[in-house]
Structures are given as structure tokens and as C-alpha cells.
Structure 1
Amino acid sequence: MGNADYLYPSTNDHQCAHRVAIPPPQPFFKSFKNSLKETFFPDDPLRQFKNKTPSRKFILGLGYFLPILDWAPRYSLQFLKADLIAGITIASLAIPQGISYAKLANLPPILGLYSSFIPPLVYAMMGSSRDLAVGTVAVASLLTASMLGQEVNASENPTLYLHLAFTATLFAGLLQASLGLLRLGFIVDFLSHATIVGFMAGAATVVCLQQLKGILGLDHFTQSTDIISVLRSVFTQTDEWRWESAVLGVGFLFFLLITKYFSKRRPKFFWISAMAPLASIILGSLLVFLTHAEKHGVQVIGNLKKGLNPPSFGDFVFTSPYMSTAAKTGMITGIIALAEGIAVGRSFAMFKHYHVDGNKEMVAIGTMNIVGSCFSCYLTTGPFSRSAVNFNAGCKTAMSNVIMAIAVMFTLLFLTPLFHYTPLVVLSAIIIAAILGLIDYEAAICLWKVDKFDFVVCMSAYIGVVFASVEVGLIIAVAISVLRLLLFVARPRTIVLGNIPNSTIYRNVEQYPKTDNVPGVLILEIDAPIYFANSSYLRERISRWIDEEEDKPKSTEETSLQYVILDMSAVGNIDTSGISMLEEVKKTIDRRGLKLVLANPGAEVMKKLNKSKFLENIGQEWIYLTVGEAVEACNYKLHTCKPDSTKKESQPWNNV
């Protein structure tokens, strides 16, 4: 069999089977280059630069990193009207959420507004999603408070804590942008759907429990995030509970949940739930101002400094031991923020039938966090709640982020004194109402029904977050997911195939119980690439299949096992350990007086089998394009040149 590019018919007269062609040899460096290209550049971003003048390439290059240059020239008044409505709507949500999430991160509330001004402007220029609304998120805020709080107490040393938050944001941005520039976005894929469902639900549970501090008006609270520490902190201070704060908090929480429920039932009125947090802040502030509730145990925000973001270039902390804490916090929060932002952007892009470039998004999100860290912002990404409001409001482009930023800028310049009497309990109610949507119990039920292992991963993440810490829960879930991946590689399935009656189709005998066994032939399908990690297992499993087949009771007329066909359709690749395994399997089969037959090995497998001389060892006439042709050839040989029924140890099969 030569190095043909096409399949060609066998020269045997008794069959019209086709042999499997060996692909033409390819230089190593070219093959290696193609593999790298497929790994890091599957979307082939350079194809648009081919056959272009240098000036055109420069413009296209700018357009690649600044998508605003692509859609801005086509921007119309109709788009502006839609984006104006969407921008104002998400601003009404971004302002109260920003203040609330900053408090959740143990940062000054004004940082929530700062983080809703600069980052959206950067993303509007660099982001590829039309629907993503940029801002702070609850999970990243919780992670920031949890991880930085282990090193520095925000109450005792607020300045150092603030500077560490800026430093962690810088590290997160550098990591995110680097992943995008180096085309390493596939790393985020290790956070499986089950991991994210469990992690988000666990984080949401912890966040809700921590808001009991604000609801009950407690002054002192644990820095730990696990449920036991939180509940102990709550119930050991029963004498500190303030009923005024609790009544106010429960009332506003009920109001927010009712508006969310109404908007969910009537999607046209989505703006009601979007406006509800801002309305709660206004009503709560008026109530406190008129009743002087701040003198009766209701805590308020206090003074918020007017003015735009002050620079924070000189506030980064690069000294030991704080730098390592900031770097670790930045890397973990950065990965979580990336996973959430890209998932949200792709979800809404699917509804509008356009493409979101994952690597572009990483560069955009990373750049906005780098720039934000230099202007008093902490970690931002694209939260689902805000993006959903942006989508439902009918946004057309990323200009809605610019409108939102302008509204936040107006608030920073003129309206911050109005937040003086905003009760903290209202912020707690806003956080709880927003975060409850992250507890996706329907997804967990679906995981249980579809894949029990995924459910275990989900619950491991949830339990780890709730009973240990956010970091521990994430590490446990990722570790179990990676372990599952390794098990899939190390223990691939081998399936016995049978013939669908009146056809040449061969399928899993367990899936199709009415399939017919082929007398004298054992057909096994290997369901994964063959590597060093699974070669020993496959060798032992194939031997057990042969033992089981030979041990089956047979009638005197039935043909004993003579051929073992390996269906290689699913074997996309093979390494030297895998080739050695096949050689050992062939020796074992030869000693038993049987014959090994291969069906449909792929191009990469054929190339390596040819170079290793395994094809010469097995005989080129024992490799077929389909299982049907292999069975036909075996049946022909069984009936025309039947082997000696007496199997002798170490007696090789004679070539037919």
C-alpha cells in the first residue's frame, strides 16, 4: 500500500473493499506549526490581513483591537435613541449596585461609582459584545473581601486595604489581557458549566448570609465567609440586633423581589425591576432623612466625595508580604470575572446572531481593569443582571456603556451628597435581591438528571464555598473536573459491536440489544485517542474481552473465535506507547492463534503506524476502511480458508 492520497479498491477478486490510504508525509515543523495554529488561532484572525496593502493592514489591525472603529462609522440616530434608553436604564441599576458591591468588598462606597465610570468607556472602545454592560459584580467583590481580608483588616487599616484592592485589580487585568494576547483563552474552559453553577450558587449563599450584618444593623461581624462562622457571628450578638433596621431591610427586600417577579412575568415591564434599586435608595434616604432613623440604629452611608476618579498610579503595593496576596487575589478574581463576562457576552450574542471573540474580550476586559486600577477602580466585568437589563432595553451597540458612564459621571459631579442618608440596610437588600438569581437550582436538578458526576462537581463547589471558603470551593471543583477529564483519558470505553440485521451497520450491543453477533469475529470499538495514560488499560481490557468471548458456551456447529477487529474510528491520535500497546496486543492474539484486524484508522494514526513499521507487521491486507468490509473479508477467509481449529501456543497465523 503506497502513500496514496485517495482510497483505492483492494486487488483481491473476492471483495470490493477499499484499503485505507496512508497520508503523504509532512515535514515535522509544518505539522507542528499547524497544530500550534489550531490550538492558539482556531479562528484564524490573520486571514483578513492577506493580500492587503500596509496601510490597510494597519487600519485592520487597529480595528481588531478597537472594534469601535468598525461600528462607529455606521452609527445612526436610530441606534443612538435605542442606546440612550438602554444606557440610562442600566445607569439606574449600576449606581445602587456599584455602591452596594463596593460595601460588599469592604471598600469605600464611592469606589463602586468610580468603577462604573472609567471601565465602561474603555470597554466601549475595545469590546466585541454589543450587549455586555460593564460594572462590578457580587462574586468578585466577595472574593476581594475574603482574600484580602485574610491579610489586612479593612476596618483597622483601610488605606493599605484600599491599595491592595487596586493592586489586585492591576494583576487581574494583566492576567486577563495576557491570556487574550497569547491566545490562551482555552484555560478558562477548565471552569466547566457544573463548576460555575455550584460556585456561583455557593457564593450567592455566602453573600446573602453576610448581608445579615446590614439587615440586623450589627457593628461587628466575622471576616470569614463560611456559613458556620457567619451564623455564629449572627447568633452570638442577639442583644445587638436592631428591629428598626430589620423591618426596613425586610420591607425593601420584599419590594425588590416583587418588582423582579412582576418584570419576569411581564417582560415588557423589565424597566420596573431595573429602576427598583434606585427607587429603593431614594425612598430609603427620604425615610431616614424625615424620621432621623440614623439616630435610632439605622446605619447610613455618610458623606460621599464629589468629583471624578482620582488617579491611583502611586498606590500600588509591590512589597512583601502583601504583593503575593494581591497577586493571588487578582489571578483568582480575574479568572472568575473572565469566565462570567465571556459567558454572558456569548449568551446574548447568540440571541442576536453575531459573534463574540473570546480572545478580544479578554484583551478588552483586561485593559479596562488595568486602566481602572490606575484611576481608583476595583475589579469589573460584565455582570449578568446588568447585561440582561441592557439587552431587554434594546441596546444596539456598546455605546450604551458610554451613556451609562456619562450618567455616572453626572452623579459623581453633582449628586453624591444626596446619598448621605442612604441606609446600609437598603444596600444589603439590593445585594440579596440581585444575588438570589445566581442560585440556579433548576440547573442543578438538570445536572442530576443528565450527568451524576457533573452534579457531584457542582455540589462539591457549593459545599466547599459554603462550609470552607470561596477559594477552597473553587479549587475543589476545578480539581474534581480535571480528575474527571483525566479519568476519561486514562479509562476510555471499549465497546463490543454487533450487526444491525439486514444491514452492514455495526453498533454497540448494549445500546442495540437486537444486534447479531458475527460468528468467529469479535468487534471492539476504542472510543478515545490512545496515549501513554491509557495504553496499559486498553491492552488489559482487550485481553479480557477476548477471554470473555472465548469463554462463552458455543454449540458444536458454531465457529470459535478467529478474528479480533478493532474499530479505530474514534482514535484521533496515537503515541509511541499506544503503538507499543498494539504490538503487544498483536503478539498476544498471535499466541492465541487469532488474527488482528484494524478498521478505519485515521490519517494521523495511519501515518504513525506506517513510520513505526506496524503496518508491515500486521500486514497491509488486514486494514480496512469500514467495519463492514473487515467483517466481509473475515467471513470470506473463514469459509474459504478456514484456519486450523487447534490453537497452538506461539504458532503465528499464516498469511492468507
Structure 2
Amino acid sequence: MRNILDLPENYGKGAVRQDVTAGITVLVMLIPQSMAYAMLAGLPPVMGLYASIIPLIIYALFGTSRYLAVGPVAMASILVFSGVSQLAEPMSGGYIEMVILLTLMVGGIQLVLGLLNAGALMKFVSKNVIAGFTSAVAIIIGLSQIGNLLGVDVSGQNQAAGLIAELGSRIQETHLMTAGLGAAALLILITGKKIKTRLPVPLLVVTGGIVFVSMLRLDQTGMEIVGEVPAGLPGLELPVFTFSAFQQLLPTALTIAFISMMESLAITKSLAKENEPPIDVNKELRAIGLSNAIGSLFSAYPVTGSFSRSAVNAGAGAVSKLAMLITAAGVVVTILFMTELFYFLPQSILAAIIIASVAGLVNFSSLSEAWKVKREDAWVWLTAFTATLVIGIQWGLLIGVVISLCLLIHRIAHPHIVEVGWNPASKTYRDLERFPGGLVISPFVLLRIDGRIHFSNMQYVENILLEKIPHEDKKVMILDMGGVNDIDTSGIEVIERVFYRMKEKGSDVYFASLKGPVRDSLRHSRMTQLYPEYFTMRSMDQVVQDKKPDIDYMI
């Protein structure tokens, strides 16, 4: 058990107290959030509690992070609603069956990826895609909950324009008491975040809302409340499987599997301490996958790590994953003995909790940073953001990923090749475009290649090098290959063609600063066997000095 829960060697009573404190602290956040997120997913609030038991226990047994607080989150919830609401009526029995099957599929995908050690695939989704996508989804989530906040019935929409239009057309239906209570709750929640109080503000808001509504019987005025919450633990039940439902749910399952894993990995990396071992991405995939797969057998819907609850868990002093078991035990007690207390909980309070939670996910500072550093990355951010708002959540993510991959391929296919000259100030060779005052040393053409040379960029590299071949005879070209870490057979063919083209003109071309792996690849080509002196590990300086020893440009 010590190894499973990642207990430190000196784990004692003091550490147990810290874990109990952290577990209870997370619990008071989790109960209202889980019910609110279940409502966001189009599910009965009690299913948020179901999703906060078995998945937490499974992650505590198999996960790697002692701080990650697994459970329902806003992002996965809106993705569930976005994908399944098109196939069945939210809150209906058929809808719930499809969501539970979706949970099994999400867990299965994550588990298979983890078993195949495919965690590296996560690296191919740009952080700018995720930042733009997350910001847009947060706005959509906020807009989708304004109806519940105001007491207005708004049908399921996954596009910002549709939500705004429908809210505008129904604003006159606002239930004033509901809107007033929801606005007050939202103000308290936001203020609590601003002043960073240690009080469990969401739980206090929920408690206050229940007392207020039950005392004044505001439910009789038309205010929507949660109503009866079934008591008792969920039983073991296999998800209802049909091949048709599997096909329809697969795109949503893939989206949730990848997004939720990226969220969890980002959290675990940000909370990891300096003296802890690095995160095992594939083990995390397997742990989250098992949490979802086994959770689906107990009526859970897709879960992942929560940014806010994980930060609270770490800040409250959690020492081990025992804290998560304490949280799960608290949810069990709540379901068994306290569900009657939630009968008068206003839905506008849950909407306020959701809006306050997702407000921090809108991150325009990441766009500003990307714009300053690299405009291409900023356009990727904007593309993912705009596509998600305008077209829809799943298409927005897909478009963002495709644009990001296209940009990556473009960068790989166009390595940086520049002409360099001697810069007296720094006493190094510098790009002549960036440092136009550099010395062009006759009779040399000096070039630097930054990037790998392989089949995907061979034509581009060849075209650039052939353009740089001097028109005058007897010129010498020197290529600084220090920035080339790898070369394949296609790249070697390019080198050969450029080499022999220079020979035809009666000129020479030298390849300087060759790194070991590149030199190893070139060693077996006929060209290097016939002309080994043209391929060297010596620097460009040394080659220039060797070919023109009387030069005094370095003085």
C-alpha cells in the first residue's frame, strides 16, 4: 500500500493529518463543482458525484502525481454535451446510456495509447491550439450557462453566435428572482477568487442558496431547483453497446481523450516539485484511461485532472495520494446520507459556479505573448479560437490541429539557409540580412544551414543552394553544417548534386563543422570516399584560413 499510494519513507501522523486536511478541502470544492459540471454535460447532478468516486480511487492506485485531483471538469463536460446532445435528448435515459458508453470509449482510447507508449503523440498538438481552443470553449460554456443563470430556457447550442442570438430573443423571459440569486452568487464567487480567501466559497454559496430557497419556498415561484437527488451508490453495470452508437461517438471520444490527457499532463508538470522524478506520460495515460474505463461501469462520465482542485490539493499540503482517497470517501458519505440536502439547490447557483470556474480559462495573454514572439503561432491561436466559436467545438479543435501540423510541416520543409559574413564586433560569422555590415570575403560564398536535411525538404535545400552557386569561375563555397543534426539518403543526394555542379564549374565546395551523426551518414557515399578532404569537422574559420592563409579580416 505504501508503494501504491506513493507514501514517503518518513510518512507519519503529521503527514496523515495533512492528507486528511487536503482531502476534505478538495471535497468541499468537488461536491458543488461536480454537480454543476454534470448539469453542464446534460446529465443529472448526481452523476457528477458518481464520477467523483471510482475514478478518484483508480487514479490514486495507478497514477503518478500525488497532487492531481481527478474528477469532472468543465472542458470534458461541454465536450460530452457537444457530442452526445446531437444524438439524444439531454437528461433522457438514452442520453445517459450513450454518455456512459462514451466514458468507456474515452478510457479505452487512453489506455490503449498508454499501453502502446504513444504518449509522445501529445507533443504534436501545439500549446497555442490548446490555448485558443480552451479560451473559445470557456466563452461558449459561459454563454451556455447564462440561460440557467437568468432562468431562461435555452436549447443546446455549441456555437457562440447561436447562443447569443437565442439569449437575445428570450431575454424578456428572464425570471427576476432566479437572475438576482444567480448574479449575487456569481459576484460572491468572483470576489472570493479575487481576495483569495481560504473560506470554501462555492460550498458556502451552495449552502446559502439552499437555505434561502427552502425558507422562502422560491421553487413555488418558478425558480428551477435540482430537485430529488437519488441516494445510494451506483451499482456495477456494463455500458449498453451498439456498433452504431460506437461509430457516432468515436469522434467525440477521441477529442475528449486527447484534450483531457493534455489537461492532466499540463497540471502534473506544473505542480511537480523539483526533487520529484519526471512525469511518466504513458503511465499517466494508463491511469486516466483506467479511471474512465472502470468508472464507466459505475455510471461515471469522462473525468480528468482539474486545474483548480489540483492547485488547492497541493496548496492544502497533500503529501500523498491518500488525500484523493479521503476525498472519494467524503463523496461516498455525501451520496449515502446527504443527498436530501440538495433538493432545494437552485440551478442558477450551479450555473454561477460554472461561469466563475471557466472565467479563468479565457487566456488572451497567451495570444499576446505568441504575437510578440512569433506571429505564425499567434495565427494558429486565433484560428483555433475563431473556428471553435464560429463553427463548433469539435471542428474548431480539428481545424486548429490541422493548421498547427501544416505549419510544423512547412517549417520542417523549409530549413533556415542564410549567407553569412564576418562580423568584426562579435568576431563570428553572422547572417548578412540581420547584420548587413558583415564582411563578404572574396572569393568565398559562405552559407549556413540550420536544420535537418531529408526527403521532405530536399528540393527546397537544393534549390536554395543552386541559386547561391557563384556565376564566376574559381569561386569557393563553404557550407557551415554545424546546425545540421541529421541527414538521410535523399539529403545526401542533394549534397552530391550540388558538389558535382560546383566541380563542373571548376569551383570547390566545402562542408564544414560536420557533426558526428551527419559525418557517419556521409561516410559511405561514393562522393566522400573520392573527395574526403571536402567534408570536415573543422570550423568555417579554419577552412577559410586554410584556403586563404594571408587573409587578415579577423584582426
User: What's the TM-score bracket when you normalise by the shorter of the two chains?
Assistant: over 0.9
Deviation per residue, 1:376-424 (Å, 9 max, x gap): 1011111101111111111111111111111111101100110000000
Residue identity matched to 1:80: V
Deviates more, 1:401-410 or 1:608-617: 608-617
How far apart in 1 are the matches of 2:231 and 2:482?
67
Look at both structures and tell me which one has the larger radius of gyration over its CA atoms: 1
Gap regions ≥5 residues in structure 1:
1-62, 264-268, 552-559, 640-656
Contact 1:166 1:373 in 2 (8 A): yes
Q: Give, in whole Å, the separation in 1 of the partners of 2:313 and 2:518.
A: 50
1:167 to 62, 85, 101: 101
Q: Counterpart of 2:110?
A: 176
Which residue pairs with 1:40 in the alignment? none
* Aligned residue in 2 for 1:393: 316
Match of 1:225 in 2: 158
Which residue, out of 192, 195, 198, partners 2:126?
Answer: 192
Match for residue 86 of structure 1?
A: 22
Among 366, 391, 399, the alignment partner of 2:289 is 366
User: Which of 564, 586, 589 in structure 1 is aligned with 2:499?
Assistant: 586
Q: In 2 relative to 1, CA 561–593 (structure 1 residues): closer, same or farther, beyond 3 Å? A: closer
Alignment equivalent of 2:214, drawn from 289, 299, 314: 289
Pairing partner for 1:346 from 237, 248, 269: 269
Quote how far apart the aligned CAs of 1:511 are: 4.1
1:498 aligns with 2:421: yes
Of 210, 226, 242, the residue aligned with 2:144 is 210
Give the whole-Å Cα distance in 2 for the aligned partners of 1:117 and 1:621: 68
Partner of 1:435: 358
How far off its partner does 1:72 sit?
6.5
Query: Counterpart of 1:466 in structure 2: which amino acid?
Result: L
Partner of 1:311: 236
- In the superposition, relative to structure 1, how do residues 178 and 637 fare at CA in structure 2: closer, same or farther (>3 Å)? farther
Q: 1:67 to 1:448 in 2, by over 3 A?
A: farther
Q: Does 1:602 align with 2:525?
A: no
Task: Say which SS state the counterpart of residue 439 (structure 1) adopts.
Answer: coil
Q: Cα distance, 1:603 vs. partner?
A: 2.5
Query: Would you say the 8 A contact 2:5–2:321 is kept in 1?
Result: no
- Cα deviation, residue 618, structure 1: 3.7
Q: Is the 8 A contact 2:7 2:319 kept in 1?
A: no
8 Å contact kept, 1:497–1:509: yes
1:299 to 224, 232, 250: 224
Q: Is the 8 A contact 2:144 2:157 kept in 1?
A: no
2:180 to 247, 258, 261: 247
* TM-score calculated relative to the size of structure 1: 0.81
**What is the identity, as a one-letter code, of the residue corresponding to 1:228?**
A
The alignment of Structure 1 onto Structure 2 pairs a total of residues equal to 552
- The residue type paired with residue 140 of structure 1 is A
Equivalent residue number for residue 98 of structure 1: 34
1:541–1:378 CA distance, 2 compared to 1 (3 A): same
Instruction: Please tell me whether the aligned partners of residues 521 and 561 of structure 1 are also in contact (alpha carbons under 8 angstroms).
Output: no
Amino acid at match of 1:633: D
Are the aligned partners of 2:152 and 2:171 in contact in 1 as well (CA < 8 Å)? no
Conserved 8 A contact 1:67-1:126:
no
Classify 1:491/1:446 alpha carbon distance in 2 versus 1 (closer, same or farther; 3 Å). Answer: same
The one-letter code matched in structure 1 to 2:243 is T
Greater mean alpha carbon deviation, residues 331-340 or residues 508-517: 508-517
Q: TM-score, normalized by length of structure 2? A: 0.95
**Which among 456, 467, 471 is matched to residue 390 of structure 2?**
467
Amino acid at match of 1:383: S
Contact 2:210 2:345 in 1 (8 A): yes
CA distance in structure 2 between the aligned counterparts of 1:248 and 1:351, rounded to whole angstroms: 45
Corresponding position of 2:430 = 507
User: 2-side partners of 1:190 and 1:184: how far apart?
Assistant: 11
Contact 2:114 2:284 in 1 (8 A): yes
**In structure 1, how many angstroms separate the alpha carbons of the residues matched to 2:220 and 2:89?**
27
Aligned residues of 2:113 and 2:285 also touching (Cα < 8 A)? yes
Alignment correspondent of 2:258? 335
| Alpha-carbon offset, residue 311 of structure 1 | 1.8
How far has the Cα of 1:503 moved from its partner? 8.0
Within 2, Cα distance between the matches of 1:454 and 1:281? 41
Rounded Cα–Cα distance in structure 1 between residues aligned with 2:162 and 2:550: 74
Matches for 1:604-623 after TM superposition, within 5 Å: 604-623=517-536
Contact residue 100 and residue 431 of structure 1 kept, 8 A: yes
- For 2:535 and 2:52, the matched residues in 1 are separated by 67
Distance 1:308 1:487, change over 3 A: same
Instruction: Tell me the secondary structure at the aligned position of residue 396 of structure 1.
Output: coil
> Kindly tell me: are residues 350 and 449 of structure 1, through their superposed partners in 2, closer, same or farther at Cα, counting changes over 3 Å?
farther
Whether the 8 Å contact between 1:100 and 1:427 is mirrored in structure 2 is yes
User: Which runs of 5 or more residues in structure 2 are unaligned?
Assistant: none
Partner deviation per Cα, 1:139-187 (whole Å, 9 max, x = no partner): 11001101111122225xx111111111111111111122222111111
Match of 1:414 in 2: 337
**Correspondence 1:250-261 to 2 at 5 A:** 250-261=183-194
How many percent of aligned residue pairs carry the same amino acid?
32
Shift, 1:346, TM fit: 0.7
What is the letter of the counterpart of residue 543 of structure 2? A
Q: Is the 8 A contact 2:159 2:388 kept in 1?
A: yes
Query: Which residue identity is paired with 1:107?
Result: L
Please provide the CA RMSD for this pair: 2.1
Q: Among residues 54, 59, 63, which one is paired with 1:123 in the alignment?
A: 59
Conserved 8 A contact 2:5-2:60: no
Could you give the per-residue CA deviations for residues 58-114 of structure 1, whole angstroms, max 9, x where no partner exists?
Answer: xxxxx9xx9526527653212111111111111000000000000000011101001
1:426 aligns with 2:349: yes
Q: Which residue does the alignment assign to 1:383? A: 306
Q: Distance in 1 between matches of 2:45 and 2:426?
A: 71
Equivalent residue for 1:7?
A: none
Supply the distance in 2 between the matched residues of 1:345 and 1:502 (Cα, whole angstroms).
45
Which residue identity lines up with residue 236 of structure 1 in the other structure? S
**Given the alignment of the two structures, is residue 75 of structure 1 paired with residue 8 of structure 2, yes or no?**
no
Shift in Å at residue 443 of structure 1?
1.8
> Of residues 541, 544, 547 in structure 1, which corresponds to 2:464?
541
Aligned-partner Cα distance in 2 for 1:205–1:502: 51
Measure the CA separation in 2 of the matches of 1:106 and 1:585: 63
Task: Return the alpha-carbon distance in structure 2 between the equivalents of residues 428 and 69 of structure 1.
Answer: 35
Cα deviation, 1:600-634, whole Å, max 9, x if unaligned, reads 22233222222221203444355342112211222
1:110 equivalent in structure 2: 46
Whole-angstrom distance in 1 between the partners of 2:551 and 2:242: 77
Contact preservation (8 Å) 1:115, 1:376: yes
Q: CA 1:513–1:353 in 2, change beyond 3 Å: closer, same or farther? A: farther
Cα distance in structure 1, aligned partners of 2:524 and 2:550 = 28
> Secondary structure of 1:68's match?
coil
Q: How far is 1:280 from its partner?
A: 0.9
The answer to whether the 8 A contact 1:596-1:618 is kept is no
Kept after mapping to 1: 8 A contact 2:478/2:511: yes
Residue identity in the other structure for 2:240: F
Partners in 2 of 1:504 and 1:72 — Cα distance?
54
Find the counterpart in structure 1 of residue 204 from structure 2: 279
Partner of 1:145: 81
Q: Give the residue type in structure 2 aligned to 1:130.
A: R
2:544 counterpart residue number: 631
Residue of 525, 529, 535 corresponding to 2:448: 525
In the superposition, relative to structure 1, how do residues 624 and 637 fare at CA in structure 2: closer, same or farther (>3 Å)?
A: farther
SS in 2 for 1:224: coil
**CA deviations over 1:8-49 (Å, ceiling 9, x no partner):** xxxxxxxxxxxxxxxxxxxxxxxxxxxxxxxxxxxxxxxxxx
Q: How far does residue 211 in structure 1 lie from its aligned partner after superposition?
A: 0.4
